[in-house]
Amino acid sequence: MKKKNPVFNFFSSVKLALFTLCLLAFTSIIGTIIPQKESIDWYIHNYSEITARIFQVLSIPDMYNSWWFLGLLTLLSINLIVCSIDRFPGVWKQVKADNLATDLKRLSKMRLTSSWVSNKSEEELATDISNRLAGKGWKTEQRRRDDSLLLFSQKGAITRTGVYIVHASILVIFIGAIIGELYGFKASVMLPETQATSTAFETGTGKSIDLGFTVRCDRFDIEFYDSGMPKAYRSKLTVTENGKVTQVKNIVVNDPLTYNGITFYQSSYQGYQDFLLTITDQKTEKSQTITLPFQQQQTLNDNSRIGVINAEAMGQSISRMKIWFKDDQGPASTFWINAGDQVTVERPGKKYTIAGKQVYATGLQIARDPGVWVVYIGCGLMILGLTVAFFMSHRRIWVLIAKENNETTVLITGSANKNKTGFETSFDALSKELEADTSNGKQ
Amino acid sequence: MDSSQLLGITTFTYMFSTFLYATIFIFKAKKLGSAATVFTVIAFLIQTSGIIFRWKESYALGYGHAPLTNMYESVVFFAWTIIAMYLLIEWKFKTRVIGTFAVPFAFLAMAYGSFSTGINKEISPLIPALQSNWLLAHVITCFVGYAAFAVAAGLGAMYLIKNMSESRKTTNEDSILGTLPPLKVIDDITHKTMVFGFLWLSVGIITGAIWANSAWGTYWSWDPKETWSLITWFIYAITLHARYTRGWGGTRIAWLAIFGFVSVVFTYYGVNFLLSGLHSYGSS
C-alpha cells in the first residue's frame, strides 16, 4: 500500500466526518433558541449589552450564514470529497473485478457452499447449469481454469457505489445552494391594488432590484370560512413587458406566478382605509374604477358623484360599506354593498352596476433561484443513493465444475455484501434446486 | 359510529394490547401470543377506520382534507404508523416480545391526544398555507420515519435491559428476560429499523423543502422545525457512520437509538411548544 501524506489522511478520515457532524448538530441548536436576524438593539434589549456584543462577535444573530458555520459545512464538503477520492477507486475495483480470475482455493472455504457429483460431462453440466441460472435471472460467464470450468454470475455490482451517490448528492445540493446564493435573489414588495411596480426590495439589505418587467396587482381578495378562519388569499397579477400584457394569473399561497425565471409568492397583505369602487353604466357598458378615502366624495367622468359614507369592519378587514351615489337625475341613492360584491342601482332612466371593496395591498415574496433544480437533482440522488446503499446488495455466485476420475464435481458458492441472511435463504434454495436437477440419480 | 368514537375505542384497545404484550413478557405467557397479535390487528383496523371516517367527515363539513393537519390528527397518525411498523417487524422477524416495547408508544400517543386538555380535537378547515398536494407526501413520509425511530428506541431500551441483566449474570432461560431475543438479534433489528427511519426522514425533509419552495420561494430557511429535523438527521447519520465504519454496535448503538428518538420527539413536539417558527400551526 502506498504511503499517503498526513494531511490527506486527516481529511479523508471518518473520525473527522463524525466530529464535523457532531459539531454541526450541536451548534445548529443555538439558532433555534436565540432568535435570528433581529437588530442589535433587539438583542441588547432582550439579553444584555455584553451578551449582545458577544453575539455580534460570534455572528450568532445570523449564525447559519456565519463564517464559522459555513466553515464547518466547507470542512464537511472537503471531508466528503477527500474521503470519496480515497475510497472510491477501491470500491470501483470491486465493481469491475474479474471474478473469474478468483483464487479457486478460496471458493471452497467460503461460508455458503454446496457441492454434489454428477456423471455428466463438464461441458454438458456447464451449459445445463448456466441455462438454469439464466432462467432465474443469473447471467453467467465462464472460463477454463486449469483442469476445471468456472462459472460466475453476479447481481447488483453497481450497488456498491450507493454510499458514494449519497455523498455526491450532498455536494450537489451544496452546489445548488451556492448557485442560488450567487445568481439568485430573494425580495419582497407590498403592492397596493391597481398599482404596478418594476422593482422589488431585496430581503435583508433592502437593495432595489430591477425586475425587467412590470407587475401589477389588479385585485386582492381574502376568502373566509364560516368560522372566520381565512380560507384563501388571492391576488390577480398582470405582467407587462415592453408595454404589452404578457401574463395574467390569480396567485394564492402554494400557487405562485413565474415569469422570466422570477417567481411571485402570495405571502401577506395589508388593509387600507381606502375603497376601490367600480361603476358601470349598464346601457353603455362604460366602466370606471376609482380609489377613494372614507367619507370623501369624488366626481366621475360622467359627472355623477360617489362616496362611502359608512362601513363595518371585522378586525382589519371591512365587511360591508354604505355608498352614496348621485347622477344628474333625481335625489341621491344610498345602499350597502358587501365587500367584494356588486349591486345594481336603478336611477331615473339609467341602471348602474356598482362594485365595492376595501383597498388592500398584497405582500409578495419575489425569488429567483437558478440553483433550485440542482438542489432537487441532489435530493433525488440522495434518495436513490440511500435506497441503493441500504436496501440493495451485491450478490455473487460461483460454480466450479471439475472432472475427477469418472465423475464430475460441482461446487457452488456465493456471497452478498448486505442482507446476508436473505441471501443465504435464496442461495440455499437455488443450490438445492440445481443439485436436484443435475446430480446423479436424476436423468 | 363516528371517528371520535372509533378513535376513543382505539386508545383503550391499544392500552389493552400493551397489557397483553406486557403479560407475555413478564409472565412468559406465550399462549397469549397470537391473542395479542390478533387484538392489536383489530385495534389497528378500528383506528384505520377511525382515520378514514374522520377524513370523510371533513368532506361532509365542506372542507375535505386528509386528517393530518393539527396536533391531534398527527398524534393519531403517529400511533397508527408505530403500530403498522411494529406489526411489520413482528411479521418479518417472527418475534412478539418487541410489542412490549413498541406498542406502549402508540398507546401513549393516543392517550395524549385523547386526554390532554391543550389539544383541539375538532376537524377544522385548512388555512391557506396548508392547502397543498405536498401536505400528504410530507406528513406521511416524516411520520413513517418518526415511527421507525420510536420502534428503534423501544428496541434500544430492550437491548439495554437485557444487556444489563446478562452482565450481572442473572439471565437464564427461566427468567423473564430469557424470553427476549438474543442480543445480536435485537441489535440487528434496531439497526435495520433506524436505517429504514433514516431513509424516510430524508424523504420527509426533502418533501418539506420542496413544499416550502412552492409556498414561500425558499426551500430552506433555518426555521426551528427545519433545523431540528436536520439535527435529528445528523444524529442518525452519525449513528450509521459509527456502525458502518467504526464497528459500533450493542450498547452504544442502543443508547444512540434512544438519544435519536429524544431528538425526534423534540423535533415533532418540543419545537411547536417551546420555540416559534413557521410550523406553529402544528401546535393547536
pLDDT average, residue stretch A139-145 = 90
Q: How far apart are CA A405 and CA A409, in angstroms?
A: 10
The partner residue sitting opposite B214, judged by closest CB among A29, A35, A254, is: A254
Give contacts of A 206-235 with B, CB under 8 A: 225, 227, 229-233
The per-residue pLDDT for range B147-167, each reduced to its tens digit, is: 999 999 999 999 998 888 777
Q: Answer whether residue B277 shows pLDDT above 60.
A: no
Q: How far apart are CA A97 and CA A106, in angstroms?
A: 16
Q: How far is A313 from chain B (nearest CA, A)?
A: 21
Which of A276, A433, A270, A282 minimizes the C-alpha distance to A360?
A270
CB contact under 8 A, A254 and B131: yes
Instruction: Assign A219 to helix, strand or coil.
Output: strand
The partner residue sitting opposite A186, judged by closest CB among B203, B218, B241, is: B218
Interface size between A and B, measured as CB pairs under 8 A: 104
The per-residue pLDDT for range A350-408, each reduced to its tens digit, is: 889 999 988 999 999 999 999 999 999 999 999 999 999 999 999 999 999 988 877 88
Phi, psi of B166 (to 5 degrees): -70, -35
**How many of the other CB atoms lie within 10 Å of CB of A306?**
24
For position B284, what pLDDT does the model report?
A: 43
Give contacts of A 270-289 with B, CB under 8 A: none
Residue A71 CA to its chain's centroid (Å): 24
Q: List chain B residues with CB under 8 Å of A252.
A: 128, 131
Q: Residue B247: closest CA among chain A residues belongs to which residue?
A: A14
CB contact under 8 A, B228 and A32: yes
The answer to whether B242 contacts chain A (CB < 8 Å) is yes
Of A217-231, A429-443, B86-100, B195-209, the range with the highest mean pLDDT is B195-209
The per-residue pLDDT for range A150-200, each reduced to its tens digit, is: 999 999 999 999 999 999 999 999 999 999 999 999 999 999 998 999 999
ipTM of the complex: 0.90
Give contacts of A 9-48 with B, CB under 8 A: 14, 17-18, 21-22, 24-25, 28-29, 31-33, 35-36
Give contacts of A 73-132 with B, CB under 8 A: none
Q: Answer whether residue A201 shows pLDDT above 90.
A: yes
Residues of chain A with pLDDT > 90, as a percent, come to 58
Q: How far apart are CA A188 and CA A264, in angstroms?
A: 9
Q: How far apart are CA A97 and CA A100, in angstroms?
A: 9
For residue B170, what pLDDT band results from cuts at 50, 70 and 90? low
Q: Answer whether residue B174 shows pLDDT above 70.
A: no
Q: How far is B87 from chain A (nearest CA, A)?
A: 20
The answer to whether B137 contacts chain A (CB < 8 Å) is no
The per-residue pLDDT for range B37-48, each reduced to its tens digit, is: 999 999 999 999
**How many of the other CB atoms lie within 10 Å of CB of A241?**
16
For residue B176, what pLDDT band results from cuts at 50, 70 and 90? low
The per-residue pLDDT for range A16-44, each reduced to its tens digit, is: 999 999 999 999 999 998 888 888 899 99
Q: List chain A residues with CB under 8 Å of B214.
A: 254-256
Q: List chain B residues with CB under 8 Å of A254.
A: 128-129, 131-132, 214-215
Q: List chain B residues with CB under 8 Å of A253.
A: 128-129, 131, 215
CB A174 within 8 A of CB A73: yes
Burial class (CB in 10 A: 0-12, 13-18, 19+), B4: middle
For position A443, what pLDDT does the model report?
A: 41
Q: How far apart are CA A318 and CA A358, in angstroms?
A: 6
* CATH topology assigned to domain A97-156+393-438: TATA-Binding Protein (3.30.310)
Q: How far is A316 from chain B (nearest CA, A)?
A: 18
Q: Answer whether residue A272 shows pLDDT above 60.
A: yes
For position A327, what pLDDT does the model report?
A: 86
CB contact under 8 A, A14 and B246: yes
Q: H or E segment at A124?
A: helix A122-135
Q: How far is A230 from chain B (nearest CA, A)?
A: 6
**Matching residue, cell 381574502:** A222
For position A1, what pLDDT does the model report?
A: 44
Q: Answer whether residue A122 shows pLDDT above 90.
A: no
CB contact under 8 A, B219 and A375: yes
Q: Answer whether residue A215 shows pLDDT above 60.
A: yes
Domain regions of chain A by residue span: 6-94, 97-156+393-438, 185-368
Q: List chain B residues with CB under 8 Å of A33.
A: 275
The answer to whether B248 contacts chain A (CB < 8 Å) is no
The answer to whether B129 contacts chain A (CB < 8 Å) is yes
Give contacts of B 58-77 with A, CB under 8 A: 63
Q: How far apart are CA A69 and CA A384, in angstroms?
A: 28
pLDDT average, residue stretch A256-278 = 92
